[in-house]
Structures are given as C-alpha cells and as structure tokens.
Structure 1
Amino acid sequence: MCGLLGFIAAHGSAEKYADAISAALPCMHHRGPDESGTWHDDAVCFGFNRLSIIDIAHSHQPLQWGPAGEPDRYALTFNGEIYNYVELREELQGLGYHFATEGDGETIVAGFHHWGTDVVHHLRGMFGFAVWDKVKQSLFVARDQFGIKPMYYATTAQGTVFASEKKCILAMAEDIGLRLDVDLRALEHYTDLQYVPEPESLHAGIRRLESGSYATIQPGQQPQLHRWFDPKFPVRQVAPHDREAVFAKIAEALEDSVAKHMRADVTVGSFLSGGIDSTAIATLAKRHNPNLLTFTTGFERQGYSEVDVAAESAAAIGAKHIVKVVSPEEFAAAVPKIMWYLDDPVADPALVPLYFVAAEARKHVKVVLSGEGADELFGGYTIYKEPLSLAAFERVPSPLKKILARVGSALPDGVRGKSLLERGTTPIEARYYGNARSFNYAQLERVLRLARPEWDHREVTAPIYARSAQMDPVARMQHLDLFTWLRGDILVKADKITMANSLELRVPFLDKVVFDVAETLPVDLKVSNGTTKYALRQAMERIVPPHVLHRKKLGFPVPIRHWLAGPELYDWAQQIIRDSQTDDLLNKAEILQMLEEHRAAMTTGSGPDHSRRLWTILAFMVWYGIFVEKRITPEIDQKEYPVQL
C-alpha cells in the first residue's frame, strides 16, 4: 500500500522543497495510483501516493491528527497495513482518544502520542511511516520488524530526505546537494551475495533504515538510529506428549494471522505455488473468501514449472485458478523495467516470473497473500540440517580439530569425506553466510576490478552473528537469514515487484503472533525425520491437501542455466556485456569468457555452471545502464519516468 516521500529541513523553510517533492512523487506513481497529496510546515514537507485498500473514502494522507486540546499536533505519512488496527483503535478509544476515520493510519498517530516510540511494539503489520511532532519539533521514522516495507534516507547540509523508493531521492539529489557516487563496498557485497545488504544501497549517499529499526530526527541533526526488534530465539524443549499442543498453537496463530491479513475493503487473492507455504495460506484464505482467486506462473520448459501442482491444489481447496506462462522473449524484455522498479539490483531470476504473475493478478484483485517467511521462521531450508550432521565435531578437542582441518584441506577435490572434514572443522560464522553467494573470493577477483578482501561477506554477517552467540546453531542460521537473505532478497522482490503492478502483497507468516510461536521451537521440531519445517507440516496436516504436505518447495524456478547457453538468452547476455560501460568496475573480458565457459558446459555436459554468477553481473550491468550511464530507458509508463535521474 502506497509510497511516501518526506524532507526535514536543516534550517527551516521546508516549503522551498515542496515543488521538488511534488516533482519526485510520480517516480513511484505505481505504488499509489489512486490519489496523491502533499503537506508542509516550516520544518517538514511530506508527499504521498495512495493505493486505497482500507477506508477508501476517508483515510487520505498526509494525515494530520491531534489529541484533545492540541489539534493537528502531528502529521503522518504511512506505507503499509496495520492488521490489528481495529483492536488498537478500541483500546485507544477506551483510553479517551477519538478518531475521525475508519483507517489504520490514525491508530499509529494516536498510539505514538500515547506510547511514544514504543508504539512499534503494539503494531501487528507491515509498515514504513513517519510522524512529525510539531510541539517537540521531532520526526519519528519507523520500519516493521522484518523489513516488509522499505525506507530509504539521505542526509545533506540541507536536511534529511526519506522515501519508500530510492528513485524519489535520486530525483531530489540536485535540490538537496546529494552526490550520487557508486558505493564500491556495496557493489562488492552485492556481487558476493546477490543482493545489496541493509543498510547499504549502491549509491554511497543513500542508506536504508534497517528492518526492525526506527530513527528520530530533529532539524539540522543526523538521524539517531535505534533497533527495536532483535529476536532471541528462546528455544523451549517440548516433551513428546506436548507436541500436539504445539502443532495446534501454530495452526491457531496462522489461522488468526490469515484472518487479520484478509482485512480489506477490496478483493484479496492469493499466490499459489506447489509447496506447503503458499498452499496453507490460500487454504486458510478460502475460509474468508469463498470466491478466492489464486495465481501462479511457470515456463514451458519441462522441470521448471509448478503450474500443474498449483492447479491441483487450487482444485482441492475450491479456488478459481489463473496461470501466466512466461516466454524467454518476455523474460528478457522485462529485465530493464524490473531493475528500474527495484532501485538496486537483486540477482534473483525469480523476480521476472513474479513480475508477470503480479501483473496478471492485478487484472483481477488489488491485494494478494503469499507464503514468504515460512522457511526462515519454521526451519524450511535444507541447509538447516547441516548442524545435525556436524554435531559430532562439536565434541572434538580443538587440537585434534585443527589436525582434521589440515587433512581435509590436503585431500584432492572430489575425494569422499573432504567436504565433511572441511565443514565440520570450520566455525559456523565462516561456514554459513546465508542462502545465496554467487562467487568465492577467487572468482570475485576475476570479475571485480576493485575487490578488497576486507569487504567480503563476513563484513556483513559478523555483526549479526555477534548478536546470536548464545543460540543453538540452527537458530543462528535462522537469525542470520532474517537479517540477510529474507530482507535483502525475498522481501525486496515481494514489495518492489508487486507494487510495480500497483498490487499489495501481504505475508501472513511474517506476523508478530506467528513469530512468537515459531521463535521458541526446538531443533527437533524444525528439522526432523528427514524433513524440514516439521512442526509446520504437522500443524498443517488437517488443513492443506495431502499431495503438497511433504512436497519440496520449488517456488518460481527459472531455466536461466539453459537459456544463457542457448538461443533464448545467449546473444542477449553477450550484447549486454559488450554494451555496458562498466569497464572501470568489471573485467568484461573475463565475464565474456565465463559466458563461453557456461555455454560449453551446457553443450557438453561437463564444466562449470556460471548461470547465477552471470545473472548477478548482468543484473548489475542493466541497473548501471539505467541509473548511472542513463543509456537504458525502461519501457514503462512515462508518468513514472518524469525526471532524468
């Protein structure tokens, strides 16, 4: 829902920037095509694009609100949804507060007046919002605990600008004296991890407010950052006879979450793949919408589609199902516009089919539910089994472990036991870096001209690991993924790509109440009996159709390894590399060689699969062509491309 843009002037006279705010707002017209508005006083200027979902006729923004005796003390601009707003409003009304709308935004402001910065702990939902207090001359900017909704900011001598999309800040750069150099450290992190990790962006002067954080800003001051959400995973052991109660508690929490996520004054549909996560959400959603529409996407190439399984699931729950099949030609043509909408590249090819299924869904509904977050909360990744297989090494004395490490290192590649010895003698902090890493350092040096060893992935993961030292190994991996892969890849594409189509995506697994249950699960209820998400599967046994209960999730798999080597994308990729003006950053001769090596490997069946590494580079090159070279103009609605960035 919606897109916000704001500016707090360092020395007053915010009205000088009102025209710049108005001019930049169309850059995210897609986030809120229903209406647009601005507001300012001497210190701040707010802009807003609205996608009307709740209280359509009345909850306009920017919103002014004040308690009795202080009318219009506060101004709010808010992106997201607060799913417990009905309960919060009733609570606040009981405390004497009055409301002029039936929307969720007003509860944020009243809650902020009553609870102060602790209001974030009362909110159940996804959000990025800003509240200006005229009396205290202070701005409060906050983001939800998981980072479902984005928030960018930049500070110069003129003040601090903040926005739901970086494009708006780029459009205002000249007005506020902001330099737009490429951040070389962020580029290395991106190339290493396939996404730009928070709080970085690829523009050195623009940062992101991290998930589960808030900032307080006063005129002329730097933002003061605070983390309000830092999960501890306080695991509780569960006796065998108590397991059924735990499964019931999970089902109850998820049912309640889906019910709250269905709150809307518009039609809500659901994405549906072939796995348990989206199927569970769709099945529960069907209870609240008998005419539920479900949507999936796939490719014609065999082995890269869950269309048939999704259709079977839709039939089993009685939902009308809509499918979008994506061709290689559509795939390639969509990449520039997708990079435009993303603001920073994400090297996940699943973005492309997501873009098309979102576009199809928007023809029918304004809101969809999806299954993101279940893997991180309930232990769904296969790699989470690794600590169990390496548990014996924890009992090995350090001197012997060092000897075993040397033995493992000396063994030739491919020798049985080498990988086990190397993994078992390597600390988890060095071994596990999240769910994506395109390059090892030797490969990184091959393509990235300015690679520096101190900027590798451990620079990103070490501070996160430092906060999880007391957790068990599986919980540490989950904790790391919450602050890397989930917010860096999954939630970026979930927000940016659906909002590109003016479609709101809601993620019921990433809910305060659901997380409170999942956070306490012991390891044997996450990975157990040879499966992942064990407790969730047991909880959903009476809910989801049997054919998906123990099926491995594929999501939206993409055949790029074949396409990059064949007539579908090989020439396209080669042209992007040759045309790109990134010679000072990337070794294009090496990248072209990688493309040839990949083509040969796919042709002969022997050799390296460079597809994910190539896709990481190609995504950056397209991004660079749009935002730095300004050579590539995405084929999008010109309402959204009004300013030369």
Structure 2
Amino acid sequence: MCGLLGILSANGNAADYVPALQRALPCLHHRGPDEAGTWQDGDLAFGFNRLAIIDIAHSHQPLRWGPEGEPERYAMTFNGEIYNYIELREELTALGYAFETEGDGEPIMVGFHHWGADVVNHLRGMFAIAIWDTVDRSLFLARDQFGIKPLFYATTGVGTVFSSEKKAILEMAEELNLDLSLDRRAIEHYVDLQYVPEPETLHTGIRRLESGCTATIIPGGELVEKRYFTPRFPVKSVPKGREQDLFDRIARVLEDSVEKHMRADVTVGSFLSGGIDSTAIATLAKRHNPNLLTFTTGFEREGYSEVDVAAESAAAIGVEHIVKIVSPEEYANAIPKIMWYLDDPVADPSLVPLYFVAAEARKHVKVVLSGEGADELFGGYTIYREPLSLAPFEKIPTPLRRGLGRLSRVLPEGMKGKSLLERGSMTMEERYYGNARSFNFEQMQRVIPWARREWDHREVTAPIYAQSRDMDPVARMQHLDLFTWMRGDILVKADKINMANSLELRVPFLDKEVFKVAETIPYDLKIANGTTKYALRKAMEQIVPPHVLHRKKLGFPVPMRHWLAGDELFGWAQDTINESQTDEIFNKKAVLEMLNEHRAGVSDHSRRLWTVLAFMVWHGIFVENRIDPQIEQRDYPVEL
C-alpha cells in the first residue's frame, strides 16, 4: 500500500522534475507515512510513500526485478494489495522464476514479464500499478477491476504525470504547464450526480484511468488506454430445487475471500454497522482472528445511529467493539479537511463520520475490512425493487405513458401518487441514474443558470446502459451502479477517507472470484420475498446473527436535514455561501433562498444544499486558496 507519483518525460529529462516530485510527495504522506523517496531513470522519475502491510522489512518501493541476464529490468510502484500473491508466487516459481522478497508486489512484476499486460487478469486484489520497462522504455499503468484504488494522470508538452491523488499533480502544475481551468461539464455532472464521474475530474487538464483499464505510454507518446474487465450480469436461471446450491456457493466464496483479505503482517480489524454486509464480513473475519476488533460510528440524535444494533451484533459474534460518536461541532470542523483529502468533492454526508471512525480504528489497527460492494453485486438497494412496482406501466402505450408524466407535473408536491406517475411515465434510462437524485434539470438551472440539458446525467449513463440491453431490469441497475455510484461515491470515500488516516480498507465483496458467483444470481433470487439481496441473506443464514439477517436497509443515516435547518449547521451554511467566491458558477441568491426555505420547512433541500456547500468548500481550498484545511502530517507506528 502506498501513494505513488511519477512523471514520464517527453524529452528524456525526468531528473529535472525530481525536485518537483519531492515538493509534491508530502501531499501523499497520509497514504504512506512509513517510507518515502524518489527514483529516476532518464525518461522516468518515481515518487512514493509506503504504508508497510506485507513483508514490512523488505518490499521497499520502487520494487526492482529482472529475469536472468537483465537484472532489475523493471521498476514498479503500486498502491494496493494482491491477495493471491502466495498462489501467484507458487505458480511462477513452478515456471522457473526466482523471487527475492516475500511481498505481494514482486509477483506482479514477474507476472508482467511472463504474461505482459494480461497479468492484471491473474491478480486478485485492489491495485493501481505503474511499471517502467528500462529496456523497452515504456510505462505500463493499470487499475483493479472495480476501481478500488485511484490513478490520476495529466499529459502536457512536458510529459505525462500520474499519481494516486490529484493534489500531488496540482502541486506540480507550474513545472508541467498544466491547464488549471475548471471543467464546466464536470461541474454540471457533479451537481447532477453528487460526484464527478470517471474519467473526469473538476480540472480540465487532469483525468483518471478508469476502473478495469490498463494503459501504455512511451516517452513523448500518447497514453493508450484499454479495458480488460467489464462487469456483466447475463440472464441466468436456477433449476427449481437447486437454489441451495447457489446459496452454498455464495457462502463458500465469501469465506474464501475474507480469508484471503486477512493476509497481512499487521493487525486487521473490521468496520461493523447494523447491516448484513459488514456483519457478514466481521463474522467470517472472526474465524481467522479470534481477537478481532470492530468499529462503528453514529450520532447522538435518536434515529440516526446504528450503534446499538452494531453493539448487539458484536456481542453475538463475540468481538471487542469500539464506538465513536460524532457531534455536530466535530462534523462542521472536519469538512474542509475532508474536502482536501477527497481531491474532488463528493456530496455524501456519511464521509464525515467515516473519517472519525477511521481515525479511531487507526489507533488500534492498520487494516480494516468493510462491506462495500455487496449492494451492487447482490442487488441490495431498495430502488432495485422499483421495476416490480412500475411493471404495469410497461404495458401502457408510450403516448399514454407520456401523458401520465405531464399529468404528474401539475399535481401538487407531496400528493400521493405523483412520484409514481412521474417515474412510471419514463423509461429506465430516463429515470434511473444511480442512488443520487437530488436535482432535476429545472432545479439545477435555479442554482447554475448556465446548465446545459445535453450535459445532464444521460451523457454519463447512456453509454453504460447501451452495454446492458440484454440484461434483466435489476441487472441493468446494478451494471449502471458499478460504473457510476460505486466507483464515483462508494469507493472514493472508501479509499480517500480511510487513507486520510493511513488506514488500509479492504473490501472482500469486491473480489473477482466473488463476482463470478454473484453474476450468476437470477433476477428472482435478488429481490424475492419482498426484500433485497435475497440470495446473500439465504447464504448467510447460518453465519449472521438473526437480528441482522432480515433487517431493513438504512444506508448510513446522517441528520443533515435537521442540522441544516437548526442551529447546528444553518449558520455555517449561510457563512459558507456568503463567503464563497463562486458567483460565476452558482446563483448564490438562489442557494440562500433554498437554505431559508429549508429552515422554514417549505421544502427539504438538504441533499441539494449539501451538494452545493461541499463544492463551495472545495472551491475555497483548491481554487480560491482561501480556506485552510489544516492538514497535519501524522506519523504512525510502522507495525500495529
């Protein structure tokens, strides 16, 4: 695990940029406080910060390896963990290769020499990889199948720079002659979706290598990207009476995934909420670590905490449990710091309590497991049941359906049936664009008058939907979420917020072997019996405590609606809007009107307000240089 940074010079003078790399590396200190340094080889220079998890005394970065006759041909920095590194080492040893370390990085380089770019299909884990071939003078970049680990890049006349975090590239902007203008299309996508979708960032000159992709580049050349993994959910069925075989396969592959994700030379803990996903992971992890520590967070406000359920689960599975309660004051004070860590804003209020529970966990462990990805792979969002409720509309002729949509627009807000008519009048491609649905286009134009309808969510989602025409309705929604909500929100906060605390988060559900089983679950076994994740629940019946097994999904409740209307955050929100220098982006008068309407109870604008407020804080840090995020470089024990 580390923060990687590098530049491939277009003119063979990478050494000239080593001082810039050294200046930028502190931006990545939180990703790897155990070791730091730079290395260069004419065309290329690497910078790195290491968080030592496996083979702590060795496996220093950049890793070097070469076959017989070409010692140290390859140099690599990588961020992540390869969970099948032991099996890969055995396989490659049998093919005649020798190893000098016990870590999980060397098998990547040996595999790259043997399989070439196809090495990514042999890796089971989370990763962002940069391999420099000193003989061919070419750079190979790769991200894991689901996009758990980030990789940003920018190409100018100077060369191509790449990094685990965008802020390190921004730190080198002057040397790179980097375009620092804001991308208005990306801003509209952010306001529409509550996150910036891949491969965009809010800066025009910086992009992201997409999940499941590799890229190659030579000095002075263009970056050539290639997709190697596309998650799909082909139409499947299970013979009557054979459902238990599927449930057993799910249980076995999850057991195996958790066992592999527990591989580390440091202590591994687990996050634990009140839901089935984290409880299943923690229960399975307890089998491999009898002294497992679990962590949860919540709020003092009644109805906005899963602390009691999590504590009951911890007692049921027999683990020591640690709780962090977050106050409104702590919440508000942490927002600038969190926006700095994020690189681009993500308008998800649960980011803040996650930051605090990660900080608490880091006092005790260096690695935690979590349940991200279960909803997308196993059909866990309540909205996935919507095709059932809207099925009758599919039988209505299109002109009549459109008429019902027009009727819904004239019905009073809050009237029963208004939302059903509105959504029933639309196709799935029109109505569903992930779990973030805060602004419609008219509402967006109220706060960003320059918004263009052709830039709305359909510009992002249409190409993804085009890939899923042969899937069932639930699978289509899952497929969309894997490319949008999961990698734009879920995995960004999983990586950035935990790494802000030098804490490695591992996600056993997002494992390629788990996906091979999840993709075989038929439509009817995802949302059967009036629930979601039905097959997963059946698979976990003998593992998860009964009080969790059929508990309704809550997400992560944050009392944002109450705090923005009350004294907790209203004043902070008002000051943020008034002080923000975003007049060319937002109609600040309209935003203040929304805040006052929210306080008066005229309408619940909490999600819309939070989307704008998060951007304003981000803008104050990265564009205006007005807000000090008050980042401190914290050093932790190498072993914990």
| TM class, shorter-length | over 0.9
Tell me how far apart the structure 1 counterparts of residues 307 and 408 of structure 2 sit (CA, whole Å): 43
2:394 is paired with a residue whose SS is helix
Equivalent residue, structure 2, for 1:328: 328
Report SS of the residue matched to 2:529: coil
Whether the 8 Å contact between 2:401 and 2:426 is mirrored in structure 1 is: no
Q: Summarize the Cα distance change of 1:57–1:203 in structure 2 as closer, same or farther, 3 Å threshold.
A: same
Residue of structure 2 in register with 1:114 after alignment: 114
Please state whether the residue corresponding to 2:585 is helix, strand or coil: coil
Q: Secondary structure at the match of 1:226?
A: strand
Distance 1:354 1:227, change over 3 A: same
Which letter does structure 2 place at the counterpart of 1:131?
Answer: I
1:76 counterpart = 2:71 = no
Q: Give the counterpart of 2:625 among 627, 630, 633.
A: 630
Partner of 2:606: 611
Instruction: Work out whether residues 541 and 549 of structure 2, in 8 Å CA contact, stay in contact via their aligned partners in 1.
Output: yes
Identify the residue that residue 522 of structure 1 maps to in structure 2: 522
Contact 1:354 1:556 in 2 (8 A): no
Q: Secondary structure at the match of 1:297?
A: strand
Which residue is 2:380 aligned to?
380
User: Secondary structure of 2:353's partner?
Assistant: helix
Residue 69 of structure 2 aligns to a residue whose secondary structure is coil
C-alpha distance in 2, partners of 1:298/1:404?
A: 42
Tell me the secondary structure at the aligned position of residue 590 of structure 1: helix
Map 1:65-144 to 2 at 5 A. 65-144=65-144
In the alignment, the residues of structure 1 paired with residue 387 and residue 621 of structure 2 have an alpha-carbon distance, to the nearest angstrom, of 43
Match of 1:604 in 2: none
Q: Distance in 1 between matches of 2:272 and 2:402?
A: 48
Q: What displacement does 1:409 show?
A: 5.7
2:302: which partner in 1?
Answer: 302
Deviations 1:224-283 (A, max 9, x none): 111111122123201231100000000001000000000000000000000000000000
Does structure 2 conserve the Cα–Cα contact (< 8 Å) formed by 1:274 and 1:555? no
| AA at the equivalent of 1:157 | G
For the 8 Å contact 2:30–2:633, the answer to whether it is kept is no
Alignment of 1:13 with 2:13, yes or no, is yes
Deviations 1:559-602 (A, max 9, x none): 1110111111111111111111111111111111111000000x
How far 1:420 sits from its partner (Å)?
3.4
Question: Do the aligned partners of 2:402 and 2:426 also contact (CA within 8 Å) in 1?
Answer: no
Per-residue CA deviation, residues 185-214 of structure 1 (Å, 9 max, x unaligned), is: 111110111101110111110001111111
Letter in 2 for 1:459: E
* Matches of 2:634 and 2:543, distance apart in 1: 44
Aligned pairs (5 A) from 1:531-546:
531-546=531-546
Once residues 542 and 296 of structure 2 are traced to their aligned partners in structure 1, the CA distance between those partners, rounded to angstroms, is 23
For residues 19 and 278 of structure 2, what CA distance do their matches in structure 1 show? Answer: 43
Q: Deviations over 1:597-644 (max 9, x none)?
A: 00000xxxxx2101111111111011000000001111221589xxxx
Amino acid at match of 1:479: H
**CA distance in 1 between partners of 2:414 and 2:437 (Å):** 21
What is the Cα deviation at residue 470 of structure 1?
1.2
Whole-angstrom CA distance in 1 between matches of 2:399 and 2:348:
41
Change over 3 Å in CA distance of 1:54–1:528 after alignment to 2? same
- Tell whether the 8 Å contact from 1:273 to 1:555 is kept in structure 2 after alignment: no
Describe the superposition over 1:8-46 as per-residue Cα deviations: whole angstroms up to 9, x where unpaired.
Answer: 011211111111111111101000000012211111111
* SS at structure 1 position matched to 2:155: strand
Q: Distance in 2 between matches of 1:338 and 1:620?
A: 12
Mapping 1:433-444, distance limit 5 Å = 433-444=433-444
Is 2:584 aligned against 1:584? yes
Corresponding position of 1:161: 161
**Structure 2 CA distance for partners of 1:576 and 1:522, relative to 1, 3 Å:** same
Distance 2:398 2:438 in 1: 31
Give the Cα–Cα distance (whole angstroms) in 1 for the partners of residues 169 and 441 of structure 2: 33
Distance in 1, matches of 2:319 and 2:634, equals 35
The superposition leaves residues 377-415 of structure 1 with CA deviations (integer Å, 9 ceiling, x where unpaired) of: 000001101112222333445455556555656666555
Name the structure 2 match of 1:643: none
Gaps of 5+ in 1: 602-606, 641-645
1:231 aligned residue: 231
Instruction: Percent identity, please.
Output: 74
Separation in 1, partners of 2:269, 2:116? 35
Farther off after superposition, 27-36 or 444-453? 444-453
Q: Which residue pairs with 1:282 in the alignment? A: 282
Paired with 1:415 and 1:556, the residues of 2 have a C-alpha distance of 27
SS at match of 1:241: coil
Q: In 2, Cα distance between the equivalents of 1:619 and 1:418?
A: 30
Q: How far apart in 1 are the matches of 2:238 and 2:474? A: 16
Question: Cα RMSD over matched residues?
Answer: 1.4
Equivalent residue for 2:616, pick from 616, 621, 626? 621
Deviates more, 1:414-423 or 1:93-102: 414-423
Match of residue 212 from structure 1: 212
Provide the rounded CA distance (Å) in 2 between the counterparts of 1:4 and 1:501. 17
TM-score by length of 2: 0.97
Matched residue SS, 2:322:
strand
SS of the aligned residue for 2:494 comes to: helix
The range that moved more, 453-462 or 497-506, is: 453-462
SS at match of 1:179: coil
Q: Write out aligned runs for 1:242-641 (5 A).
A: 242-398=242-398, 401=401, 416-601=416-601, 607-637=602-632
Equivalent residues of 1:2, 1:50 under 8 A apart:
yes
Structure 1 residues 418 and 591: alpha-carbon distance in aligned structure 2, compared to 1, 3 A threshold: closer
In the TM superposition, what whole-angstrom CA distance separates every residue of 1:341-387 from its partner, at most 9, and x where no partner exists? 00000000100000000000000000000000000000000110111
Q: Secondary structure at the match of 1:316?
A: helix
Q: Residue 346 of structure 2 contacts residue 614 of structure 2 at CA under 8 Å; is this kept in 1?
A: yes
After superposition, the Cα gap between the structure-2 partners of 1:108 and 1:559, relative to the gap in structure 1 and judged at 3 Å, is same
Deviations 1:455-500 (A, max 9, x none): 1111111111111111111111000000000000010000000000
Q: Structure 2 CA distance, aligned partners of 1:492 and 1:622?
A: 18
Aligned AA for 1:13? N
Aligned residues: 635
State whether residues 342 and 496 of structure 2, in contact with CA within 8 Å, keep that contact through their aligned partners in structure 1. Answer: yes
Is there any run of 5+ residues in structure 2 with no aligned partner, and where?
Answer: 636-640
Q: What is the TM-score normalised by the length of structure 1?
A: 0.96
Letter in structure 1 aligned against 2:2: C
| Structure-1 separation of matches of 2:207 and 2:596 | 37
Contact 1:449 1:584 in 2 (8 A): no
Separation (CA, whole Å) in 1 of partners of 2:60 and 2:520: 40
One-letter amino acid of the structure 1 residue matched with residue 340 of structure 2: W
TM-superposition CA deviations, 1:42-79 (whole Å, max 9, x none): 11111110000000001100111111111111110100
Give 1:555 deviation, angstroms: 4.1
Counterpart amino acid of residue 305 in structure 1: S
Q: Partners in 2 of 1:399 and 1:628 — Cα distance?
A: 47
Q: Secondary structure at the match of 1:364?
A: coil
Distance 1:304 1:473, change over 3 A: same
Maintained 8 Å contact 1:297/1:556:
no
Provide the rounded CA distance (Å) in 1 between the counterparts of 2:22 and 2:64: 19
- Contact in 2 for aligned 1:370/1:507 (Cα 8 Å): yes
Find the aligned partners of 2:407 and 2:314 in 1 and give their Cα distance.
Answer: 53
Letter in 1 for 2:550: H
Query: Residue in 1 aligned with 2:638?
Result: none
